[in-house]
Structure 1
Amino acid sequence: SAGESARDHFGHGTHVASTVGGRRIKGVSYHGLAKGTIRGGVPSSRIAVYKVCNPKCRDDNILAAFDDAIADGVDIISISLGNINAVEILKDTLAIGSFHAMEKGILTVQAVGNSGPNPSTISSGAPWIFSVAATTIDRQFIDKLILGNE
């Protein structure tokens, strides 16, 4: 059944893992275009994968994966999932699990803004989660960040 399979039915987590730890491969192209060498950001990394969605992403599976990753002594947890809408931080499974990881000195990284360029597409704003987002094709970056009561 889908729940018992290790297959990544969404593909995002597998994509992120290869972007991080993919080994160096020469002569790769995208449908014959841009032939060259590819590699992940840290090809010497060791990656532990914890499947939490089958295909529903249940809170108990997510928290169990955090517990397992912490017990396994990982250095970084990369979360390739998120809530569709913002959740109160004390009820946010990702915030709770990542807080426990932070207490053990483990950095948690999460992709945000996957719902497009609209305002409020960051569903988990816990300050202990390192949030990562993409920008536009023209590489324009917003350069102001205001924290606190400003």
Structure 2
Amino acid sequence: MCSCGNAGETTLSAGAVGNVMQDTGFKDVAFSFPLPASYLGVNDGSSISKYMNSTRNATTTTLKSNVVKDTLAPYVVSFPSRGPNPITSDILKPDLTAPAVVILAAWSLVSPVSGVKGDNRRVPFNILSGTSMACPHATGVAAYIKSFHPSWSPAAIKSALMTTAFPLSVKTNSTDAEIAYGAGHLDPIKAVNPGLVDDADAADYVRTLTNVGSAGCTYNSRIIAPRELHIQVEPTILSFTSLGQKLSFVVKVEGKIGKTIAFASLVWDDGIHQVRSRIVVYALS
């Protein structure tokens, strides 16, 4: 029994065959250790430690694992590069989320499974978690979109990913809401055909939309916002006559919020595509 001040090097070097660890670390991700380990919270760990010290014949019972479907997924976990930005919270990062927890990933045969010296296991694949796993997912989807649209700019691809992302639930994800997880969870299939994209040029991020859907299409605007915000879009309808055509619009936000931050969304809908852009409102201090 030990506190998790290390990755298991101490028990490995001591010749142990397993380890019971207690710590206050993250509870929403699995860790890899050089020995079979049970990773417990401080309260449960303390109870086991007292029991072990109370008898010379400590015993354990290993029960069958239960498989549970997580109905709240997808949601942003506690440990990756989630928002809000610790330096200035009005910078809206991250842009979106991607699969990052318990990912089967390629692994160097030079490194042990646990990364701990003395661990002699070598495998070509390992289970990894973190932003380092979300990044290749997002990169792969961006390359996938580029294969369909070779002429699209990085900004257009980013827009396609964000406006088609699966909206996460504020109630089940984080008190920081979209400041924590961005536009939502990426959807590769929808991102290939977003309908409209926000493309960046010299003017940089003017809300000017480019039609990448069909030659003749009409988009109606829809606002999703809390009652205290009054949001107007001018014009409320965008009618495109050709591919590549650009149309501009203006968003006006009025109202008072009784908290530091409020969230809303603008959705352009042509009956096939739902192009969603997030709106974040800060209260003046």
TM-score normalised to structure 1 length: 0.27
Determine which structure has the larger strand proportion and give its number. Answer: 2
State the structure with bigger RCO (CA 8 A, min sep 6), 1 or 2. 1
